[in-house]
Structure 1
């Protein structure tokens, strides 16, 4: 009788559960916030801990007052939501597979839509309550970062194993219970509301991280209103195939939206359907080099499962909403008309309660494909344009070794306005003084790179060719042409041309054919016998030392023009090697005996502040190695052009960082620096914020014009 006399909203246990729900919502909000900005664990962990403690409290209160099926279900769903939120956070910072802990409950619910017998009630099992409690406790402990990584992974694996056993036991019980006739079906209204919510969220979700906000999810999706209206007026013979097709289209657009979000975090741009499929291979290669082949297999499997789950859930939701609208045509049409009226008045008043984000997303993809197809012809014309090299080609550099040095991910943010730029600035200022003491001088400015966060080869080819190469499609077109590059110009003028690319691990036939270099040094042929440092196959110090040993030999030889790629500052920026005496570099085995600096990539990537600090330290290391090498070998016939290829990922740069990268010309010969005086560049290795900025594709022609003399040519 007590259950009847006390309304649901006033049952003491349910009031406690409602308080827990508020805490869990706060936890979820912090988890979402942590995806785009640092969040203090001192707030997240206590909220989760209190929610866990109150779980025991509302159970005790229920046993002393009244237990209801509603209360038990309410309590279970709040528990599941807390576990989901915590698993999302831990999956981002520790291991991707932890998300399975949070999704388990919801995967079973989705499966119940397909196999009704899974919706039957099972007898209470105390062990299941223990397992559920273990999930929350373990996830909270790992979130608090109070245990070593190995122990944390072990605890998470045990928790997941217990959860799998618990759900497997439940499924076996449900299977034995019999047919769907015994199923306690969920309320029709609840399932329909859930379907509307799923579609609502899928249709209004932003496609860029900076647009993530509560307001974005409170807009009314016009596409959902259109679905309701069409389902209400279309005959069933048309509606059913249309619903199936819409489920597929919505799944594809949701995947594209997720890719847009990911690309905005890493590359500060949206996903390009035609061009960006190429990056799957290189991207998995970076994961393999940083975390191992097991991580690659797990990532691929996890993505495949996630796409299937998204497809099943969205298709089921579309079917449910369409079916509901068809059964209640008058209500559906009335709701759509009312929503359209409110939206029209809101728009007229300058407001914005309506969202057409998914339609815009689809239209943008169509436009992007159309643009990419047209751009093939545009760029083919640019490649084919007459491209004469200046007379007296590079005669002002005759007899000099010229090194074009790319510093990986060395962007404007490294030298100004960030928490880590102070350390880089100090290294550059100190380096300027050291080089002046050794007889070198330098001039610096900025170039605007065609890429951001990755795809270094686009920047390399842009600088070399004098063409704007901002997509994989353009790069593929360029390297199959005979367009002149800086390397081919130096080769034509009599230099020996070299590429030193330590990250290359196999034959690079396209590069050899296009650039036409005389020699390629890569991971396989420089004699390195030391350890890898995450992505970097070898330290930058070894790359420089090996190049000097192989190419800058004493005695008669051709002058050398080389592109050298320094990759110690490549994501994930940790661990870093330490500098050793140059005489001790040898075959690199010395680096096995010198402790690396920084934590493992998995440890560092958990903390946005540690990631940014690691990035700054990696740039400091590369510049320290380069300056140290130059200071020990004064050479009036050595010229360096040192620049970044692109900015680091946007979770390092912050919002709206631009595409600028620093560039410096370093030389001892005053004639070299006098020649670039007309460029207006600033003195020293560190360009000030107001230093000149030009596009990267302008550098080739400017450099060739500056250092070519129309007077009669001689040999270098």
Structure 2
């Protein structure tokens, strides 16, 4: 409690008294470090809070002409040190809660001592009363935050925030800053808050009773503030409201939030949790210090430039979030721009041309708006920093030290993999600086690979498969986690076991292995291109270069060796010029299968119908030669609901029979709003349907004069929304045939019988499949 320097007992100067308070705080924090789970992050947070509070206290006494806090102020200073130390314990249970309750109880008890000391020593002053009141308010805020964190009822924080809301309102409504007459009821209500919060934190009362007591305390506090507002209203003849200051404060808050969110927002969807936003970005600390010392024009230019860089960081984070969600990888700043056009095409295909155009326009407007907004925000915050240069520089030094302690020293984090000491801008710049030359180098390597394809057509090409029909069937979103993950394997393993039995009864043998796809979560066409070309195609730019080259693909090699080629691609709804590059002679897109039924969410044609149409259009076509075909099964494509039942093949007709089963279709974007458990359940249901459709169709195929060989595989994992973090990119692959010689050709591959390879199966890169397949079924090629 501060006092005038004249006419009162001599005490130490303010700086010495504050230093003594700092020593007390350090001692208490040392004890907490040894006796509670409070780690480096919490202790550092308490230390920073204490330093800021000390600076504000010294500043206030200097502005008020006070040279000492006086004996009563020392008591209040001790209470403040205990309240600041309690910051390190917020949200902890066990020893942490015990320590917090003890500190709060002592601080509340001392609250009854500083007043009598001030009266007995004749040092009662308005600044001293203000110091006492702010200490009480801070302790209540700490206690309310702890109770809210431990109970999960965040409305409790209103007990600690009402005082600060009242002070903030006084900044724009000056009449709220008027003097208030002493009111005994206000003191009683203030004391009630502390007692109720301490009792609740201690866990003395049952949970329901404790929350009821907190609610009563909050109601009493609201009533008390309401009485104060009414008194001030009546005491003032005019009630001005500073709209300019209010708008300015709101705008500044928006600027701070925008800059902070861009800096601390994680770029990994797995880390998107509220606690992940509680980070200290070093770029904000250094940027504030820089803008505080620069002169006017230079400051504006630098601030605008930093704002543009900040917008670039935000856009790259947004791109990373999208790509990690859909494809399980980060955005490639060199190669992935073409996929933005694919995204627009996807929206047009699912929601209409107007929606696709609107989405593209909105994306451009949002990107430009972010650049303009962050540049303007940085300029405004830079101007404010220059007005408060000393405070900003002091705060930068303090927060810089806290960043070093919580980051490089302690490695603290609130969310696994997301350090509290953030340096996303530095990390992003470093990553992109390495990624760009790496991608360019990969492009050069790709050009060399495409220019030197040593596969040649000869009499031995695919000779082991002469006279047989060969089908490569991709099951959408069929990843290895479906077979191995504890949440999914119990559903998929029985389906595969029953399929193995059914195929065996039909005379088919199976050999299975694992491939590592180039993508995860999406980009099926990239996996298809990888399997057929023997080139890893992980992005659209590589795909475009591949399809513009003369690279030999499996379908084209089969065609050149005498097979007819066809592709069934129900998900294709527009022209597909790349079909000629791959060697597909006949293309059956969604409109070519004779399907008159409804779509099932994204999937235009149910898998069972697509396979039946393939049989009708190609396998059962009279007078044809041996066939190589690719079939893509789309029913297990996100959003995975609804899924039709398996129907009697004789009843399929033109597909109209599916109409009753397509109700409740979801838009694709629903996968970002539904819970993981719901999505996983829907995914498993759709995958069961696809697997049963494919294996049932094959088992029911009658024996003909031409053997049928099927390569059944997944294209990629379903994405982090279902497979979870760290799922990888492995997919199962099986060769299915009635001919023992076809299966024996895979003996050197290490593949195992059945549709489910063992958990320890060694994966190949998907790009290796073409050459291994050719070697197994053709023998060595000339020049190889």
What TM-score do the two structures reach when normalised by structure 2?
Answer: 0.66
The reply on whether 1:662 has 2:732 as its aligned counterpart is yes
- Tell me, yes or no, if the aligned pair for 1:246 and 1:318 is still in contact at 8 Å: yes
1:184, distance to aligned residue in structure 2 (A):
5.2
- Cα distance in 2, alignment partners of residues 486 and 699 from structure 1: 10
1:695, distance to aligned residue in structure 2 (A):
0.8
Partner SS state of residue 507, structure 1? coil
Cα separation, partners in 2 of 1:690 and 1:293, compared to 1, 3 Å: same
Runs of at least 5 residues in structure 1 that lack an aligned partner in the other structure: 30-46, 73-122, 124-176
Aligned residue among 433, 451, 458 for 2:519: 451
- Tell me, yes or no, if the aligned pair for 2:453 and 2:551 is still in contact at 8 Å: no
Partner SS state of residue 664, structure 1? strand
- Cα distance in 1, alignment partners of residues 626 and 321 from structure 2: 47
- Tell me, yes or no, if the aligned pair for 2:461 and 2:781 is still in contact at 8 Å: no
Partner SS state of residue 380, structure 2? helix
2:496 — aligned with what? 428
- Cα distance in 1, alignment partners of residues 432 and 212 from structure 2: 44
Aligned residue among 203, 224, 240 for 2:284: 224
Partner SS state of residue 512, structure 2? strand
- Tell me, yes or no, if the aligned pair for 2:457 and 2:557 is still in contact at 8 Å: no
1:509 — aligned with what? 577
Alignment of 1:118-137 (within 5 A): none
Cα separation, partners in 2 of 1:380 and 1:236, compared to 1, 3 Å: same
1:82 — aligned with what? none
Cα separation, partners in 2 of 1:709 and 1:221, compared to 1, 3 Å: closer
- Tell me, yes or no, if the aligned pair for 1:284 and 1:296 is still in contact at 8 Å: yes
Aligned residue among 397, 400, 405 for 2:465: 397
Alignment of 1:314-463 (within 5 A): 314-344=374-404, 349=409, 351=411, 354-389=421-456, 391=458, 392-463=460-531
- Cα distance in 2, alignment partners of residues 600 and 710 from structure 1: 50
1:237 — aligned with what? 297
- Cα distance in 1, alignment partners of residues 149 and 372 from structure 2: 31
Instruction: Encode CA deviations 1:415-438: one digit per residue, 9 max, x unaligned.
Output: 112423322211111010001111
Aligned residue among 511, 516, 520 for 2:587: 520
- Tell me, yes or no, if the aligned pair for 1:568 and 1:622 is still in contact at 8 Å: yes
- Tell me, yes or no, if the aligned pair for 2:572 and 2:589 is still in contact at 8 Å: yes
Aligned residue among 766, 769, 772 for 1:702: 772
- Tell me, yes or no, if the aligned pair for 1:574 and 1:597 is still in contact at 8 Å: no
The reply on whether 1:255 has 2:255 as its aligned counterpart is no
- Tell me, yes or no, if the aligned pair for 1:439 and 1:634 is still in contact at 8 Å: no
What TM-score do the two structures reach when normalised by structure 1?
Answer: 0.72
Aligned residue among 629, 642, 645 for 1:562: 629
- Cα distance in 2, alignment partners of residues 347 and 8 from structure 1: 31
- Tell me, yes or no, if the aligned pair for 2:457 and 2:561 is still in contact at 8 Å: no
Cα separation, partners in 2 of 1:274 and 1:362, compared to 1, 3 Å: same
Aligned residue among 732, 749, 756 for 1:686: 756
Cα separation, partners in 2 of 1:232 and 1:185, compared to 1, 3 Å: closer
Which of 666-675 and 583-592 deviates more? Answer: 583-592
- Tell me, yes or no, if the aligned pair for 2:467 and 2:707 is still in contact at 8 Å: yes
Partner SS state of residue 66, structure 1? helix
The reply on whether 1:535 has 2:602 as its aligned counterpart is yes
2:565 — aligned with what? 497
Cα separation, partners in 2 of 1:600 and 1:21, compared to 1, 3 Å: farther
- Cα distance in 2, alignment partners of residues 28 and 285 from structure 1: 43
The reply on whether 1:574 has 2:641 as its aligned counterpart is yes
- Cα distance in 2, alignment partners of residues 287 and 27 from structure 1: 40
Q: Supply the RMSD in Å over aligned alpha carbons.
A: 4.0
1:26, distance to aligned residue in structure 2 (A):
4.6
1:552 — aligned with what? 619
- The higher-RCO structure (CA 8 Å, 6+ apart) is 1
Aligned residue among 595, 611, 619 for 2:661: 595
Partner SS state of residue 257, structure 1? helix
Cα separation, partners in 2 of 1:305 and 1:262, compared to 1, 3 Å: same
- Tell me, yes or no, if the aligned pair for 1:424 and 1:617 is still in contact at 8 Å: no
1:271 — aligned with what? 331
2:188 — aligned with what? none
- Cα distance in 2, alignment partners of residues 492 and 707 from structure 1: 15
- Tell me, yes or no, if the aligned pair for 2:598 and 2:662 is still in contact at 8 Å: no
Instruction: Encode CA deviations 1:423-458: one digit per residue, 9 max, x unaligned.
Output: 221111101000111111111111000011111111
1:314, distance to aligned residue in structure 2 (A):
3.2
Runs of at least 5 residues in structure 2 that lack an aligned partner in the other structure: 1-128, 156-206, 233-238, 413-419
- Cα distance in 2, alignment partners of residues 413 and 655 from structure 1: 11
- Cα distance in 2, alignment partners of residues 337 and 355 from structure 1: 16
Cα separation, partners in 2 of 1:295 and 1:573, compared to 1, 3 Å: farther
The reply on whether 1:66 has 2:236 as its aligned counterpart is no
Partner SS state of residue 325, structure 1? helix
From the CA coordinates, give the structure whose radius of gyration is larger: 2
- Cα distance in 2, alignment partners of residues 186 and 365 from structure 1: 41
- Tell me, yes or no, if the aligned pair for 2:639 and 2:666 is still in contact at 8 Å: no
Partner SS state of residue 447, structure 1? strand
